[in-house]
Amino acid sequence: MPITGIHHVALICRDYARSRAFYVDLLGLEVIAETWRAARGSWKLDLAVPGGGQIELFSFPDPPARPSRPEACGLRHLAFATDDLEAEIARLEAAGLAVEPVRTDALTGRRFTFLADPDGLPLELYEAG
């Protein structure tokens, strides 16, 4: 049976309330389910990504830092599509987030930029339309 798509991406955060606010209130992802897992001292938040797929946001007590720079082997970044890159940048900067200068992908001609989530995970905004 062939793969039909990406179902979810799992992220681990250090400060659950801060990360929940970032992904739900700021980025606007829809909550599917939110579960406190007492045995693990951990929250699991399932978020719907517009256009399909999900993000599973986990909290764990004292997770180790993720190597990011220099580039670490493994997941490099998470990219979100947007139809209006300038409007999304303006909205995020108005909320106090630092957004990198816009670049153009030499292979696709599409514009993109990066920012970081509360734990420093690189997030890309990619102009899809």
112 in Cβ contact with 127 (< 8 Å): yes
Nearest to 49 by CA among 15, 93, 7, 20: 7
From 62, 90, 114, the end of a domain falls on: 62
pLDDT, tens digit, 9 for 90 and up, residues 47-94: 999 989 999 999 988 888 877 767 777 778 899 999 999 999 999 999
What CATH number should be reported for the domain holding residue 124?
3.10.180.10
On whether both 1 and 55 belong to a single domain, the answer is yes
- Dist. CA 77–CA 121, nearest whole Å: 7
Whether residue 112 contacts residue 126, with contact meaning beta carbons closer than 8 Å, is answered with yes
Mean pLDDT of the chain: 91
Cβ-based neighbours of 107, under 8 Å, separated by 6 or more: none
How many whole angstroms separate alpha carbon 116 and alpha carbon 77?
9
Please say if the pLDDT value at position 1 is more than 70.
Answer: no
The answer on pLDDT for 125 being more than 70 is yes
Q: Could you tell me if 121 and 66 are in contact, meaning their C-beta atoms sit under 8 angstroms apart?
A: yes
In-domain check, residue 21: yes
pLDDT of residue 66: 76
Residue in the block written with tokens 């690189």: 122
Instruction: Select the more confidently predicted residue: 95 or 75.
Output: 95
Place of tokens 């599409």: 110
Burial class (CB in 10 A: 0-12, 13-18, 19+), 28: exposed
Q: Which domain holds residue 87?
A: 75-129
Span 32-42, mean pLDDT?
94
pLDDT of 4 above 80:
no
Q: pLDDT-based confidence at 46, cuts 50/70/90?
A: very high
5 lies in the same domain as 51:
yes
